[in-house]
């Protein structure tokens, strides 16, 4: 498996130093070794899809997740999103429920959030790969360093971004974000364990569009197929 980044050129320019650091070479070696013994998700060509679909200078909104879904055909490089034809995981079901309650968007057939990504919503997991059926199995191998660098680059080089942080893990990333330049929307995680503790009713979708319009930017069309 190769992890030579298939990403939009602006991200390559911003993150070039990360690709050349020792930890990234170690991460690549770890993944190559994992692939010899286990199934790894998402497939190699999809690992960097968040960066591929949302160019650095066109990103308007950042939604942070933890690590990819770990069952067959689910993960495709966008946090909370699953490939077409795959049953919606429980967290995604709750996201769609809040989307309907907040913005009146009907629950879509597909669980793919690719349409959001192509409008400048960076759907970024902190960890970009996972061993099949073992959640969190690729923690502390270097991905967190890489994705923290991406978040920090957005904070430092851009202005007026909206960071949507669901749950305590994502909210730990606030230390990387300059609140004087950017907007942060926080709520509990959409997982079944915490969705009723404040995720439902948090209205992240309408709040995001209100902020975008207030900055003279085009709102996100949250409707999906």
Task: Please identify every residue annotated as catalytic.
Answer: 67
Judge contact between 64 and 126, C-beta under 8 A.
yes
Judge contact between 111 and 88, C-beta under 8 A.
yes
List of residues 6+ apart from 22 with CB closer than 8 A: none
Max CA-CA distance within the chain?
51
For residue 196, list its beta bridge partners: none
Q: What is the DSSP letter of 22?
A: H
CA 100, 81, 219: angle at the middle one, nearest 5?
Answer: 55
Terminal C-alpha separation, the chain: 31
């Amino acid at each position: 498996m190769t992890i030579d980044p298939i990403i939009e050129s602006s991200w390559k320019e911003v993150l070039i130093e990360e690709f050349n650091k020792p930890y990234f070479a170690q991460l690549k070696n770890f993944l190559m070794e994992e692939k010899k013994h286990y199934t790894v998700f998402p497939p190699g060509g999809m690992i960097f899809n968040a960066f591929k679909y949302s160019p650095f200078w066109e990103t308007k909104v950042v939604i942070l997740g933890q690590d990819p879904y770990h069952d067959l055909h689910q993960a495709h490089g966008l946090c909370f999103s699953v490939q077409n034809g795959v049953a919606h995981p429980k967290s995604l079901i709750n996201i769609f429920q809040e989307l309907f309650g907040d913005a009146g968007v009907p629950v879509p057939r597909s669980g793919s959030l690719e349409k959001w990504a192509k409008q400048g919503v960076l759907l970024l997991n902190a960890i970009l790969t996972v061993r099949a059926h073992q959640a969190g199995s690729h923690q502390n191998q270097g991905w967190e360093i890489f994705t923290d660098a991406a978040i920090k680059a957005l904070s430092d080089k851009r202005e007026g971004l909206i960071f949507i942080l669901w749950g305590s893990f994502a909210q730990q990333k606030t230390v990387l974000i300059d609140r004087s330049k950017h907007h942060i929307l926080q709520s509990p995680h959409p997982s079944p364990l915490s969705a009723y503790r404040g995720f439902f009713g948090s209205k992240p979708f309408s709040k995001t569009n209100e902020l975008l319009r207030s900055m003279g930017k085009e709102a996100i069309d949250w409707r999906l197929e």
